[in-house]
Amino acid sequence: MPEQIPRRMSAEITRKWRELAEQRRAHFIELYDSGRWRHYYTEEQLLARTREAIRLAETWERLSKAPDEPEVVAADAPKAVPAE
């Protein structure tokens, strides 16, 4: 049985999982912005599920990067230069 479980996922599979996680995260943000979340969740439930969706999206983002690709941290990201 263990030989049926792949030790590594292809880049295509991790990209697809990342896209799904991003869609889920966007769904919770849209629910919040529209106010429709009140029909489905309490405020605590929405916060918990949104945090989980964000965590999963960030995890799949890290997993989908190539091993030699540098990870950009928000503090290291280039700053926007104001137009003169």
Query: How far is 53 from 45, CA to CA, in rounded Å?
Result: 12
Interacting residues of 32 by C-beta distance below 8 A, sequence separation 6+: 46, 50
pLDDT at 30: 96
Query: How far is 25 from 39, CA to CA, in rounded Å?
Result: 18
Q: What is the pTM of this model?
A: 0.66
- The overall average pLDDT reported for the chain is 80
15 vs 6 pLDDT, higher one: 15
